[in-house]
Amino acid sequence: MAIEVTVPDIGDFTDIPVVTVLVSVGDTVAVEDPIVELESDKATMEVPSSAAGVVKEIKVSEGDKVSMGSVVLILEGEGAATAPAKEAAPAATAPAAAPAAAEPAAAPVTDAGFGKAHASPSVRAFARTLDVDLTKVNGTGRKGRILREDITKAFKSTAVPVAAGGASGGMGIPPIPVVDFSKFGPVEDVEMPRIKKLSGPALHRSWLNIPHVTHNDEADITDLDKYRKEMDTMAKDNGYRVTLLSFVIKASVSALKEHWEFNSSIHPDGDKLIKKDFYNIGFAADTPVGLMVPVIKDADKKGLVEISKELMSLSAAAREGKLKGPDMQGATFTISSLGGIGGTSFTPIVNAPEVAILGLTRSKMAPVWNGEEFVPRLMQPLSLSYDHRAVDGALAARFTVTLKNLLGDMRKLMW
């Protein structure tokens, strides 16, 4: 009996490159065995087999692009067991809540051997950035696949330190000189988590392409925090928690409605803003393998209890590596909270194609003048980074004033 194994639901992703075919004709596979590996600019995912049997024919090759429903291989085997199609399991995902703006196509490579190199599209792009010839790189990955670290090693072996005013690297930016630190003391190369390898280029792209400005302010959350603690005490008995982030999400939605520019994206032609009439709030979740950004969809239609429960479930899924592609897509505004760790302010990087991101650090008790005397108040630092092409300084100040007024009077959050 012949069985077609297809690409399962992979969210909104389409035309995803096949970077590795994990099986060969004649191999025996079981249900859930990985058969191919796909890699987009957001995630690397293994496609599991939905059936068991012997591989009769492989329908894709490395470099082919597939979408949901694409036939990957043909299995044969009398009475082969089958399982319902499941979502592709993400091997690691970059912290990006919405699909990134399309990158310019890489310049064509004239060396025919480059095109035959066993490397993923992102690794090829990285090699072009460093001007590394893939035909001269030995891959250390599965089946000789060239990895990002192989490119880095090859670059270090040939790079010459660049003096000020010397030859520039990609985008006209002089590369950082390579230093042999072992001359000064013991060193060790420590492998970066895969998620950081994937998210790094996206963060670098945003930092280079967006004129960042950060506006800092403080909100008086004394009364709000008292109410939050009351809600949290009741929530514990029902198996969830209520954190300050739930209130900030609720307040942010109200502020975004009043200042729609912060909920927009710059149109590809650069002459317009795309105004969004939906409110999906991404939040940075700290995990053992790096930062992930799950998204609370339609936050404007949810109350504090529902938002709190969703925050808890998405955070748990992030820590356990169980987030799916759709869980991290479609954000219109992002919040990065360091409140449980510390700090007074920072400059969060805008998660393009969004135009703003709100950073939170630890709240503190401070003396505040009420017109007659100084009184102790619990103050929450706010760090709002924004794309200066879409938002100017005056509008950023108005947004934070709106936000601090909402947080300062919790009754306004119920309007």
388 as an active site residue: the answer is yes
CA distance 25 to 54: 8
Omega of the bond leading into 353 within 30 degrees of 0 (cis): yes
Annotated active-site residue in 118, 212, 267, 388 = 388
Lookup result for tokens 């299995």? 75
Give the other-Cβ count within 10 Å of 275's Cβ. Answer: 10
- 273, with CB counted inside 10 A (0-12, 13-18, 19+), is middle
CA distance 354 to 389: 12
User: How far is CA 8 from each of CA 5, 50, 71, 96, rounded to the nearest angstrom?
Assistant: 9, 9, 10, 22
Q: Residues 95, 29: contact at Cβ < 8 Å?
A: no
Nearest to 291 by CA among 99, 93, 149, 90: 93
CA distance 408 to 415: 14
DSSP H helical segments within 119-243, as ranges? 121-129, 148-158, 194-209, 222-236
* Cross-strand partners of 282: 295, 334
Q: Residues 20, 34: contact at Cβ < 8 Å?
A: no
Angle at CA of residue 243, ends 240 and 245, nearest 5°: 125
Nearest to 247 by CA among 257, 255, 239: 255
Q: Residues 127, 115: contact at Cβ < 8 Å?
A: no
Strands (E), 221-327: 264-266, 273-275, 281-283, 285-287, 290-292, 295-296
Query: What tokens does 59 get?
Result: 């329908």
Q: Which residues are catalytic?
A: 388
